[in-house]
Every structure is written in structure tokens, then in C-alpha cells.
Amino acid sequence: MKPQVTLRAALNDPNLLDMAAPSWIAWRSLLLAAMGEPLLPEELEYFRKLTGRAEPPGKRVDEFWCVIGRRGGKSKAVAALCVYIAGLCEHRHLLSAGERGVVMTMAADRRQAGVILAYVVGLLERSPILKQLIVRKTSEEVELSTGITIEVRTASFRSLRGFTSIAVVADEIAIWYSDESANPDTEILAAVRPTLATTGGPLIAISSPYARKGAMWETYSKHFGPGGDPAILVAQGETLALNLERDEAGRPKLQSVVDRAFERDPADASAEYGAQFRSDLEAFVSREVLADCTDDVAERPYEAANAYVAFTDPSGGSADAFTLAIAHVEDNIVVLDLVREVSPPFMPSEVVEQFADIVKAYKVRTVQGDRYAGEWPPEQFARCGVQYETCELSKSEIYQELLPLLNSRTVALLENDRLQRQLLSLERRTSRAGRDAIDHPRGGRDDLANAVAGALVLAQKAPSVTVMKRGPIQYPPSWGQVA
């Protein structure tokens, strides 16, 4: 890219980006450093405090990662950088004839990504110079006369190909979760990096931190501070270190908000406002353990020698999936035989009939599940000739009992990508009282994992009448339906 004006000049000009106010000095120091521009002495102090590095890069970086507390001004700051790159830098020499470059903002959903786009539109329309660049504007993109389009997209690795990017923004990347992948952040970044290959544009990732896993944590661990790659700039700052607005008394405007958050939940506030990765969250199980416990089998047929158990995670049919799992014990190995998942919308009574037929085919007359919807599941299953029993363990307790079985490799799972993703995304959270709770992450799901965990734990506790030995199983050509 060829700047038509320096970023500093654009930030200081009230007719362009207009971010010369003292409250923006921390962000100015980061944005200028990321674009390779020199810093003033006061800006250098902020840069050192927020990056842990003694000197700025001296040239535009390839990647700019911002681990920032909520309400720290990151959306507006990055929007200003997007407007500068799209509207005040020349890229035509990097694009083919008729090709438009893209400044892409990705988030977990379009609504979240639209936050930055709204700031982009505000900055463009407020400027008497920049607003002349707008050719077309919709709810999802702004087309500029510079040959660049600023657009929003949902963070999905399946739809991030076939265009040329001059910059990519990954918004709130630390909390990306997807039913498509156990690692949506790393797979999405792998999909978008090639779109920057011909332009050499920057990858910009911003987020408040979450658990110590994922692309943001890995990049922070490797590149924050003096030992990091000079081409990868990582900044970390609590809310009050970046949002420098003051009230009439000269106090930080958000001080009371931050204080109340720490009073309610120190661990959560430390991440949300303190920009610290959570130490009270851990992954439930590792990918290596699951790989060791997974057979190259999609489903196992009924065998008369085995005593089977069934566990279900019911759903009302509008939001969550209705799931079923069947398992048995064989040679001291807890074996998963079958999984079923019906995604909404559906008629719950029809799914109960389907599941009842399946469990009866495995000679199971009792199915366990949670306390969902009171007496509704017992009544529906009883109508189909199957007894429904409420499991005494909570979901978290079931996962806690499953973990030693997984770690000891005494479980034989089925090859099921969705099950793998849900198990890998589970998080173990330690409360202030020292108790562990295991659940899916915010925005995630564990309907299938819950049914499977319940069936495996139930089988491990049930008396076994198995007499056969595990070995290669011959499957009928048309056996079963893979979930």
C-alpha cells in the first residue's frame, strides 16, 4: 500500500479521522507503531507499557493483535485504521484490472462485525473529505471510489475465499465458536491469510481475552514483549489504560463500572476489563486423548452378548438438538455404540418415537436423561414403551466422571466430527469456592457430548454381562445412519 497521507496527519486532522484528543493518545501510539510511523516521546511511553517492547517496529507490521479490556475503544480505533487503509492509501498497483480490494471485518456473527462497520460509516460521513469517497453503502459494506470495499462477514472458514484483501480484521476472536470446527479461529485465519498474500496487507485481531487457548492466546504467548517477532505486534491493555476519558472531576469515566464488575465476579472482570486471560478456565480434554480413544467406526450393530444402556438429552424442538447415545462395557472398556442427533426444528413427540424404536432394537427398555421439562420426557417415552429415568448426576458431574475414563484410555468412541468438536470445546471452570464445573463455552453447544458422556458413565456403572472380546466387527453394507 502507498499512503497518500501519513496516519499521524490523518488522525490529527479534524477534517479526516479527527482523533487528536488527549484521550486517544494510547491508541494513537499503537496505531502509529503498527503502521511503522515514528512515535513522540509521550507516545513511546504508552507503547512500551502496552506492548512490553522497548522500541516500535519502525515499519508496518504484518499482524497487529490487541488484547484489550471491554469498552477500551478498540472498535473505534480499528475502524479508524480501516478507513485510513481503504480511503487514504493507494492499492491499485496491487490489484488486477477491474479487481476490487476488500477490507474485511469478521466476527462471530454479522451483528458483532457490524459494530466496526458502523464506526467506519460514522468516520466517513463525519469527514467532509472522506464522505466524498462513498460510492455505495449497505448494511454489510461500504464501497469507496478508491477501488476498495469495507465489508463485514461471519467468521466461517467455508466462506472466506475467492477475493483479495488489503486488510483483515478479526473482531472478538478469543470467543469465536462454531459448530463447523473445534478450532474455528485457527482454521478461519488459515483461510483468510492467503487473501492477503498478493497485497501484503495486515491481519488485525482484536478481542477481550478469554481462556488460555486458541489463536489469540497462542500469539500472545509467543509474541507479546521483547522476544516477539518484530513483524507481529501484540498489545495488551486493561480498559482504563486505553479508555482515557475523564468525568468533570477528572476521574476515569468507567471507573465505577469496572469497580462494580470486580465486586460481582473478580475472575470474569479480570478478563473482561483487566485484559487478563482467565486462569480459572481449562480445556476439559486434549485432542490427543480423544484421538487415542476414538475407533475408526461410525456405528456398532447390536450384539446379543452385550448389555446396553441408553442416555438422552431431550429438547423442546426449537433451540437445542435432541440427542441419544447407546453404550456398553466390553473387556473393561466402555464402548460407545450409537449416537443420534436431531437438530431443530422438529416435533419432540416424533423424535421420542424414533429414539424409542432405536433403544428397543438394542434390547434397552430404560433410558436415562436429565430433568428437562419435568414430567414431559417420562410421559412421552412411556407412551412408546420405554421407561425414562432421571439421572441423579448433574451434567457437570457426568463430565467429571467421564474424564478419568478418557484419560485412562478405557473408552472406545465413535468417529464423529461433531462429537469431537463438542468434547474439545468443553471448559472446566474453577469457582472461588474451589469447585470445578464443566460446561460448553459461551455461544457453544454440547447436546451430543452430554448424551454420549451420560451413556458412557451409565454403562461404566451398570453391571456388565459381556462375554465376547473386542475385535474387528463386520458391518452390514446398509447399517445405520451416521449422526
Q: Where are the domains of the chain?
A: 2-279, 287-461
- pLDDT at residue 309 in the model: 96
What is the dihedral sign for C-alpha 53, 56, 57, 63? positive
pLDDT higher than threshold 60 for residue 464: no
Q: What is the percent of the chain with per-residue pLDDT over 90, rounded to a whole number?
A: 54
pLDDT in the model for residue 182? 53
CB 117 within 8 A of CB 140: yes
Fold type of domain 2-279 = Rossmann fold (3.40.50)
- Identify which has the larger pLDDT, 243 or 179: 243
Please report which confidence band the pLDDT of residue 94 belongs to, taking 50, 70 and 90 as the band edges. Answer: confident
Do 2-279 and 287-461 show the same overall fold? no
pLDDT of residue 472: 41
In this predicted model, what pLDDT tens digit does every residue of 216-242 receive, in sequence order? 989 999 999 999 999 999 999 999 999
Give the contacts of 244 (CB within 8 A, at least 6 positions apart): 22, 23, 24, 25, 26, 252
Is 70 exceeded by the pLDDT of residue 477? no
Residue 160 CB partners (closer than 8 Å, separation 6+): 104, 106, 153, 188, 191, 192, 195
Q: Is the peptide bond before 345 cis (omega within 30 degrees of 0)?
A: yes
Cβ-contact 316, 460 below 8 angstroms = no
Q: How confident is the model at residue 365 (pLDDT cuts 50, 70, 90)?
A: very high
Q: From CA 81, how far away is CA 266, in angstroms rounded?
A: 33
Which CATH number does the domain 287-461 belong to among 3.30.420.240, 3.90.1170.50, 3.40.50.720, 3.30.450.20? 3.30.420.240
pLDDT band at 474 (very low <50, low <70, confident <90, very high): very low
Mean pLDDT of 90-110: 83
Assess contact for 418 and 341: CB atoms under 8 A.
yes
Closest to 117 measured CA to CA, from 146, 91, 67, 154: 154
Q: What is the mean pLDDT of residues 36-40?
A: 96
pTM: 0.71
Measured distance between the N- and C-terminal CA atoms of the chain, rounded to whole angstroms: 48
Instruction: Report which of residues 463 and 48 the model is more confident about.
Output: 48
Q: Please tell me the predicted confidence (pLDDT) of residue 108.
A: 74
Return mean pLDDT, the chain: 86
Q: Quote the CA–CA distance of 320 and 120 in Å, as a whole number.
A: 36
pLDDT tens digit sequence for 254-305: 898 998 988 888 878 888 898 988 876 677 888 889 999 999 999 999 999 9
User: What's the full length of the chain, in residues?
Assistant: 483
Helices (H), 88-232: 110-126, 184-192, 214-223
**So what's the pLDDT on residue 430?**
67
